[in-house]
Amino acid sequence: MSQSGNSEFEASGTPTTRAGRATAFTLRLADLSMAERRASLIELVGRTTLDVMSAVLPGLLETVSPEQTFKDMGLDSLAAVELHDRLAAELGVELPIGIAFDYPTPAVLADYLLTEALGLGERRTAEITAAVGSDEPIAIVGMACRYPGGVATPEQLWELITEGRETVTGFPTDRGWDLDRLFDDDPDAGNTTYARVGHFLHDAAEFDAAFFGISPREAVAMDPQQRLILETCWEAVERAGINPQTLHQSRTGVFIGAEPQDYGPRLHQAPCPRAARVTWGRATPAPSSPAGWRTRWAWRGPR
C-alpha cells in the first residue's frame, strides 16, 4: 500500500547532474531555449544510437527516427548497455542501466534526460509515495510454475504429488542433441552421459519471443531459464486476476533467487561477439533483468 502526495520542482539555469559535473555538451544546453534543449538531446540520442548500431550490426540501420522504438531498430541488451555508457559519458551523469528499455524511443529518452537526469526541463509535478505499515508483509495472490512431468500450473503440480506419478522420461528430441553420440555406457567418457532418461521440461523450447518484445537473435542467446521466468511471471500476474498491461511503467519488481552455474565459457572467454551474447545470456545475474521486463512491461521496480 502507498499514500501519494505531490511535490513541484523548477528547472534550473544550469545542469544539476547526479554525477555532480557538467560536460561541454550540458553547459551548451544551459544557454539554449527549452525547445532547443530537447531538440539537441533528441539529436544526441539518435546520433549515438546510430553509432552504436553501426558498430554492433553494420549496415542494419541507416537513419534513426525520434519516434521509432529501440526494439524496432534491433537494439539488443549488449547494444543497450553500450548506448547507456556513451550517453552517460557525454552528459557526465549517472544513468539507469536500462534506459533504452525504460524509455523506448529517442524522443522519450531525450525527455527523461532533459527533466530527470539533467534537471533542465520545464516545471512539472512529481509524485511522492510513502510506504504504509502492514501486518501482512507478504501475500501470495498468484502462482505459476513449470516442472517435469508436463506440469504447467500449480493445480497440475498438486495432482502430480497427490497421485504419486513419475516424471522420468527419455531425452527430448527437439534440442538439437545427437542422442546416439551423447550416450556412452562408460561413466568416465568425456562429453557424454551414461543415462538414457531424466527429468526434463519438454516444452522448454517453445517460447513466443515476439510477445515479450525480444528479437529472435536475442531469444536464441537467452538461457531457457530466463524464458521460463518471463512466462511464469506473466502467468502469475494473470492468475492473480491482474491484467499485466495495467502494470506498465509501475513500481513493480521481480525478485529472483538463482544458483551459480558452471557450464559454458565465461564472458571474457567468448570467441566472437555472438558467443559473448550467448555467454551473457547464461550468466546468473541476467535473469533479474531480462529484456521482457523492460521492452514490453517497462516495470520500474520498488525504490
Q: Which residues pair with 197 in a beta bridge?
A: 170
HEC secondary structure over 172-196 = CCCCCCCHHHHECCCCCCCCCECCC
Residues 6+ apart with CB under 8 A from 31: none
* Dmax (CA) of the chain: 75
Q: For residue 221, give the nearest of 281, 298, 266 by alpha carbon.
A: 281
Task: Give whole-number Cα distances, 253 to 28, 217, 260, in Å.
Answer: 37, 26, 22
The grid coordinates listed for 61 are 540501420
123, with CB counted inside 10 A (0-12, 13-18, 19+), is exposed
The DSSP H or E segment spanning 217 is helix 216-221
172, with CB counted inside 10 A (0-12, 13-18, 19+), is middle
Task: Give whole-number Cα distances, 27 to 48, 150, 197, in Å.
Answer: 19, 60, 65
CA–CA distance, 282 with 187 (Å, rounded to integer): 27
Residue 159 has what pLDDT? Answer: 94
Query: Are 48 and 87 spatial neighbours (Cβ–Cβ below 8 Å)?
Result: yes
Q: Which residues pair with 6 in a beta bridge?
A: 127
As a residue count, the chain comes to 303
pLDDT in tens, the chain (303 residues): 333 333 333 344 554 444 456 788 888 888 888 888 899 999 999 999 999 988 877 877 788 889 888 888 888 888 888 999 999 988 888 888 888 888 888 999 998 888 877 777 654 544 545 455 566 677 888 999 999 999 999 999 999 999 999 999 999 988 888 888 889 888 888 888 888 899 999 888 888 888 887 777 777 777 788 888 888 988 999 999 998 878 876 778 777 776 666 555 554 555 555 444 444 445 554 555 554 455 556 676 665
- pTM, entire model: 0.56
Q: For residue 142, give the nearest of 218, 244, 70, 222 by alpha carbon.
A: 244
Query: Are 142 and 233 spatial neighbours (Cβ–Cβ below 8 Å)?
Result: no
Residue 94 has what pLDDT? Answer: 86
The domain ranges of the chain are: 2-131, 154-297
Query: Are 281 and 222 spatial neighbours (Cβ–Cβ below 8 Å)?
Result: yes
Residue 157 one-letter amino acid: L
CATH, domain range 2-131: 1.10.1200.10
Residue 163 has what pLDDT? Answer: 92
The grid coordinates listed for 196 are 538414457
The grid coordinates listed for 32 are 539554449
Residues 6+ apart with CB under 8 A from 123: 8, 9, 10, 11
Q: For residue 247, give the nearest of 210, 214, 296 by alpha carbon.
A: 296
Q: What are phi and psi of 284, to 5 degrees?
A: -60, -40
Secondary structure of residue 54 in the 3-state scheme:
helix
Instruction: Give the alpha-carbon dihedral of 104, 109, 112, 113, to 10 degrees.
Output: 150
CA–CA distance, 38 with 115 (Å, rounded to integer): 10
Residues 6+ apart with CB under 8 A from 18: 93, 94, 117
